[in-house]
Amino acid sequence: MSGGRPPLTCIDLFCGCGGFSLGMQRAGFAVLAAIDFNAEAIATFDRNFPDVPFILHKDLTTFGPEKLAELIWPGSSARLGVDVIVGGPPCQGFSKVRRVDGANSGPRLIADPRRHLYREFLRYVGFFQPRIFVMENVLGLRSAVGGAYFTAVQKEARALGRAQGRPGYRVHSQVEDAWELGVPQKRHRQLIIGVRSDLPGYFLPELQHAPHAVPRPCLWDAIGDLPILRAGSGEQERDYDLIRRVEHVEHQEGSALRYLCNVLEIDRAKKLTSHVARHHSERDLRDFARLREGETSATAMRVRGVEFEFPYDKSSFKDRYTWQGRWHPCSTIVAHLSKDDLMFIHPTQNRSLTAREAARIQSFPDWFRFSQSRTQAYRLIGNAVPPLVAEGIEPPVFN
């Protein structure tokens, strides 16, 4: 963006703890407002974004865009200063995981009001008429209910404003691979992007990773310097192990140092927080130890004939355990970590990942503070848009 021009602005809907907002700020945007229904998400957002003027704990089904406009620009009837609206409506109603029991597809489809929350997002887009909007969701949006919602989101978005004689939007969908954008995990997400039709000749291509990102980082780049923990140990706040960090950086040929400094911004964090390992039963720890690095329990049983103490239902829980590999991207960080983290076994330590490790894998910097409740922290981290993905959205039309 050219010098002297006022910063471009955005609004973050269903903001969660702030992954989208952090990425947009890093790309040079001023976040005018962030809204979410979850109180813990808003408390975490407020703790980390002191410069965002309106951080609102609101239900978007009852708190309309007119109310937000009045807060931002009291007494003005103009829809001022919103260049981009971003957001990730809750994805559970489209999750492929919930297709296993028919909850999101097939004859046993369960009604879920969260599938309609995209309309609240579009209501704000229709009111503010931003130049661009970006909606993020899981890939299951494409197939849930036979693709009906995937089609409806785009069709309804294209119609925005046309009835009132406004320009309307050119809308398209694209799937982004977070690993390609510098996030050390296997994470694919669906983006639906709308460009106001009075912006000629512009169509957002595949996102480009941020200049400071490390292309295709491995898991070890993100977490290899952190202090060693046993299951059930750790402190909510502690000093870094600087000797271990130096050794880690020396063995990673520069990629780790770039990730630690440029993405995790370790120079801004005075203390290491949220690095507390979950307690595991002795049975689980013995089962963990039967795995090899990078191996799932399904592979161990099929290839090596390993027998686990956990009473497996061979038709369901074959991948109950996954020992992550240092030199590959991590499995997708998900909110289910708050309940069960056995698919996220540390690559060199006999335990699952801590909240700080999960946050680093999501590309949250070390200065970003989460709830002291590990369950809440896991949920917020897993539900977040990785900041590095959001940072790649800066449209070239604004340059």
Secondary structure tally for the chain: helices H, strands E = 13, 9
For residue 382, give both structure tokens: 């897993």
Catalytic residue among 10, 15, 91, 330: 91
Reduced to 3 states (helix: H, G, I; strand: E, B; else coil), residue 132 is: strand
Q: Are 292 and 323 in contact (CB under 8 A)?
A: yes
* Count of other CB atoms within 10 angstroms of residue 383: 22
Q: Are 378 and 297 in contact (CB under 8 A)?
A: no
- 388 burial via Cβ count (<10 Å: 0-12, 13-18, 19+): buried
Q: Is 91 a catalytic residue?
A: yes
Closest CA to 183 of 363, 365, 332: 363
Task: For the chain, give the number of residues.
Answer: 399
Side-chain half-sphere exposure of 35, counting CA atoms within 13 A: 24
- 271 burial via Cβ count (<10 Å: 0-12, 13-18, 19+): middle
| Category of 352 on φ-ψ map: left (φ > 0), alpha (ψ -120 to 50) or beta | beta
Q: What are the residue numbers of the active site?
A: 91
